[in-house]
């Protein structure tokens, strides 16, 4: 199985300058490849393949962009491969690839010659870089090493390991070891056994401070000047805002990792509802809350952890009326509103908590969809 381990990187000033050049080169190749693909399809209805872009890269290194030779070739080729993967995801329903900006998240990949020795990670053409190994690196073969820089100026290294282990066989599905999860905004998650996990709302907690720092950043911006000519005060304030965003992101990711691990460790079968998150986020009133809660990241974590441990993931359809259906008799309450947190079934008289009832229906339908649809 492939597993990734992420660590904080501590490069020297000289290594930071080298990485900055390499980040720019990889970004240049990605953007040039994207521009070539768009132009070829717009004018000639022709598809430019990754092999065509590889040939273009070779020609560039020989002619007008000889400075690209300073960058490891495999890192430049990885940018083309990543662009090709982005196009594949686009045709599978994801968004269209975007041009990379120098002010955003920067990264570069190394596919060979990565070694770890005496608290340093050794990379091609740059040598050993100090890093904080806060947890042991798993045993196995190093496949890919990615170095990244956040907008706040922090550096990280992500090491992908092939540990040689086979994916475990799926555990048997039974009602005793299964759970239904209903995702929400007031409560982050409601379990079919009655447990609820509150939404920590990390963005909401920092919103007042974030608005203040962003106003300061906007006040220091000099209109008419490009970004690279702004004052030092503007750059310092930009880092402050970026670090605040990064703190919120880290808090949310830590929360999601802990909740997803707890669910995977306790249950063998997890029933989830397929959510149209991009469609839900178009709601003008709830868009900020929906974007903050992190449903997509949580589902992704649940899925890959279930794959590692042999647990089962059962998904129900987007349009299944989990909240409106009575979990006792199966009657659908078509008049239920979003504001109705509790409701009484008109057929059997059962009193339902909206989220708990939805979690029970998700579990019942996930375990036995034929019975629920014919009831």
Catalytic (active site) residue 273:
yes
Same domain, 105 and 190: no
Report residue 235 CA to chain centroid gap: 27
Of residues 372 and 187, which shows the higher confidence score?
A: 187
The predicted pLDDT at position 95 comes to 86
Percent above pLDDT 90 for the chain = 59
pLDDT range class, residue 370, cuts 50, 70, 90: very low
Q: State the chain's mean pLDDT as an integer.
A: 90
- The domain boundary residue, chosen from 115, 132, 162: 162
Band (374; pLDDT cuts 50, 70, 90): very low
103 lies in which domain range?
Answer: 2-162
Say what the pLDDT of residue 140 is.
86
The region of weakest confidence among 28-32, 212-216, 368-372 is 368-372
312 domain residue, yes or no: yes
Between the alpha carbon of residue 324 and those of residues 75, 177, 203, the distances in Å are: 52, 25, 30
Asked whether residue 120 falls in the same domain as residue 175, the answer is no
Q: Are residues 341 and 308 in the same domain?
A: yes
Domain membership of residue 212 (yes or no) is no
Residue 373, pLDDT > 50, answer no
Among 27-41, 242-256, 310-324, name the one with the lowest average pLDDT.
310-324
194 with 337, same domain: the answer is yes
Is 321 among the domain residues?
Answer: yes
238 belongs to a structural domain: no
What pLDDT, on a 0 to 100 scale, did the predictor assign at position 341?
Answer: 84
Candidate list 77, 182, 213, 268, residue with the active-site label: 182
28, 48: one domain:
yes
Q: Is residue 34 part of a domain?
A: yes
Is 259 within a domain?
yes
Report residue 254 as tokens.
């830590």
Choosing from 77, 213, 268, 273, the catalytic residue is 273
Average pLDDT over residues 324-349: 85
Same domain, yes or no, for 34 and 145?
yes
Residue with tokens 């050049």: 21
| pTM for the model | 0.86
CATH number at residue 351: 3.30.420
3-state secondary structure of 174: coil
**Pairwise CA distance, residues 330 & 295, whole Å:** 27
Question: In which band, very low, low, confident or very high, does the pLDDT at 350 lie, cut at 50, 70 and 90?
Answer: confident
Separation of CA 9 from chain center? 21
Question: 53 and 69 share a domain?
Answer: yes
- Provide mean pLDDT across the span 88-98: 89
Query: What's the confidence (pLDDT) of residue 24?
Result: 95
Q: What is the pLDDT of residue 372?
A: 43
333 & 184 share domain: yes
Rank 99-108, 221-230, 260-269, 351-360 by mean pLDDT and report only the highest.
260-269
Split into its structural domains, the chain has a count of: 2
Instruction: Please report which confidence band the pLDDT of residue 34 belongs to, taking 50, 70 and 90 as the band edges.
Output: very high
pLDDT given at position 348: 87
Whole-angstrom distance, CA of residue 310 vs CA of residue 302: 12
Claim to verify: residue 179 and residue 149 sit in the same structural domain: no
Query: Do both 355 and 283 map to the same domain?
Result: yes
Examine the residue annotation and report whether 355 is marked as an active-site residue of this protein: yes
């Amino acid at each position: 199985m492939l597993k990734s381990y992420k660590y904080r990187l501590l490069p020297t000033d000289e290594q930071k300058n080298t990485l900055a050049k390499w980040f720019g080169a990889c970004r240049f190749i990605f953007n040039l490849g994207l521009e070539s693909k768009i132009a070829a399809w717009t004018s000639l209805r022709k598809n430019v393949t990754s092999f065509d872009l590889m040939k273009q890269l070779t020609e560039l290194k020989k002619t007008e962009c000889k400075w690209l030779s300073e960058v490891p070739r495999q890192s430049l080729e990885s940018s083309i491969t990543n662009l090709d993967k982005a196009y594949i995801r686009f045709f599978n329903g994801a968004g269209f690839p975007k041009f990379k900006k120098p002010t955003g998240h920067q990264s570069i990949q190394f596919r060979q010659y990565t070694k770890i020795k005496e608290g340093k990670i050794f990379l091609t053409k740059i040598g050993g870089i100090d890093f904080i190994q806060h947890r042991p690196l798993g045993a196995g073969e190093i496949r890919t090493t990615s170095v990244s820089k956040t907008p706040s100026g922090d550096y990280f290294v992500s090491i992908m390991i092939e540990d040689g282990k086979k994916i475990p066989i799926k555990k048997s599905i039974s009602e005793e070891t299964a759970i239904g999860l209903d995702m929400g905004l007031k409560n982050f998650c409601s379990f079919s056994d009655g447990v609820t996990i509150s939404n920590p709302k990390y963005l909401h907690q920092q919103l007042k401070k974030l608005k203040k720092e962003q106003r300061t950043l906007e006040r220091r911006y000099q209109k008419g000047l490009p970004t690279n000519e702004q004052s030092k005060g503007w750059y310092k304030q930009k880092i402050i805002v970026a670090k605040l965003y990064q703190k919120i992101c880290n808090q949310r990711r830590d929360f999601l990792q802990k909740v997803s691990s707890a669910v995977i460790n306790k249950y063998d079968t997890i029933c989830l509802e397929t959510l149209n998150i991009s469609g839900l986020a178009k709601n003008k009133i709830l868009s900020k809350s929906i974007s903050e809660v992190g449903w997509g990241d949580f589902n992704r974590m649940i899925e890959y952890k279930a794959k590692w441990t042999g647990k089962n993931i059962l998904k129900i359809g987007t349009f299944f009326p989990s909240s409106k259906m009575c979990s006792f008799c199966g009657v659908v309450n078509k008049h239920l509103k979003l504001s109705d947190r509790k409701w009484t079934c008109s057929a059997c008289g059962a009193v339902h908590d909206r989220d708990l009832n939805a979690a029970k229906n998700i579990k019942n339908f996930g375990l036995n969809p034929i019975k629920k649809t014919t009831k």
